[in-house]
Amino acid sequence: MTPRSPNAEVRIRPLAQLTTLRVGGPAEVWTVDDDEAAREATEAPFRPIGAGSNLLVSDDGVPERVVALGRPYNDVRRFGAETDVWLGCATPLPGLVRRARQAGLSGLEGLLGVPAALGGAIAMNAGTRFGEIGEVLEEVEWLRDGRVERVPASELGLGYRRSELPDDALLLRARLRLARSTPERVAVALAAVDAARSGQPKAKSAGCAFRNPPGDAAGRLIDLAGLKGLRVGDAMIAHEHGNFVINLGDATAGDVLELIDRVRAAVDAPLELEWRRWGF
Ligand SMILES: Cc1cc2nc3c(=O)[nH]c(=O)nc-3n(C[C@H](O)[C@H](O)[C@H](O)COP(=O)(O)OP(=O)(O)OC[C@H]3O[C@@H](n4cnc5c(N)ncnc54)[C@H](O)[C@@H]3O)c2cc1C
């Protein structure tokens, strides 16, 4: 398919290349470098993708277009010392957190180590017990039905690792409000978050597989059931953290699903997936 817009690129790609778990079959991937290209990409059924760090994609891929925001939507280099700032939704969180520390801006510390793009972070209301993106989000600009609209954060239905973003909305930009602090104070807060994350595996994963049940931790329940190290094909429950499924090399979505089913069968509490599942 050849797009009309000169600022859209279309390629059939295995989604394993675009996800951190490195699992998933092919899709028509549209990379869009401006709003006009984004408008064209969203004329047919589509799924937005960010850093692909919370996705389990079927081995058969997805029939919809997969829309990725291109480089012009990554504002990490432009981000300076402003407390009130509009940023493109392809801006990577790790870069933002680093720049905020350098500039002495507070509000993003709880997102240290979350490998999201800004759009995906908003869609999932990414965060940790130290803070989440919703706490600093003022409003977004999304593309929906061919129109760019501004929507206040209060209308996005943000909750624990969730939002009520409509399926047909593509987040383009977001306005964050940060607080002025000092690089030293921000560094101290980051060190506390870093210490809390130190037990997480470095292998290929999609972060925590399950939401924490109220008042408990999914990882603790999985550990208690003796499931660390459980393996199906190349998919394994990490030794370091029971809520992480890692890909040892050639895991398929089928392996991952079977592993998850075994975990659910063995744990004595209902476990709800945190990942978004595509194409099943
Ligand atoms: C090692 C590791 C550690 C992690 N730690 C944490 C953690 O501490 N806390 C936490 O909350 N999460 C964590 N995660 C999970 C993940 O980083 C978050 O869920 C993150 O918000 C996903 O962002 P993404 O850009 O990768 O989105 P994707 O995985 O690409 O997409 C996730 C969802 O967002 C939607 N989406 C993406 N971009 C847009 C857009 N522009 N417009 C509309 N919808 C969009 C997608 O359609 C999809 O439904 C971790 C993941 C990994 C791999």
Residue 199: predicted pLDDT: 86
Closest ligand 1 atom number to CA of residue 69: 41
Domain containing residue 160:
74-196
Specify the DSSP element, H or E, that contains 96: helix 93-103
Give domain status of residue 189, yes or no: yes
C-alpha of residue 124 to centroid of ligand 1, in Å: 6
Tell me if 206 CB under 6 Å of ligand 1: yes
Residues 133 and 183 in one domain: yes
Residue 1: predicted pLDDT: 83
Tell me if 219 CB under 6 Å of ligand 1: no
C-alpha of residue 192 to centroid of ligand 1, in Å: 22
Mean pLDDT across the chain, nearest whole number?
97
Pairing mode, strands 55-57 and 276-278? parallel
- Cβ–Cβ contacts within 10 Å for residue 45, how many? 11
* Catalytic positions, written as ranges: 161, 208
C-alpha of residue 179 to centroid of ligand 1, in Å: 24
Residue 68: predicted pLDDT: 98
Regions of the chain short of the pLDDT cut 50? none
Q: Give 98-102's long-range contacts (Cβ < 8 A, gap of 24+).
A: 100/178, 100/186, 101/183, 101/186, 101/187, 101/190, 102/183
Residues 88 and 154 in one domain: yes
Residue 194: predicted pLDDT: 96
Give domain status of residue 274, yes or no: no
Dihedrals phi, psi of 227, to nearest 5 degrees: -100, -5
Residue 144: predicted pLDDT: 98
Residues 212/129, Cβ–Cβ less than 8 Å = no
pTM of structure: 0.98
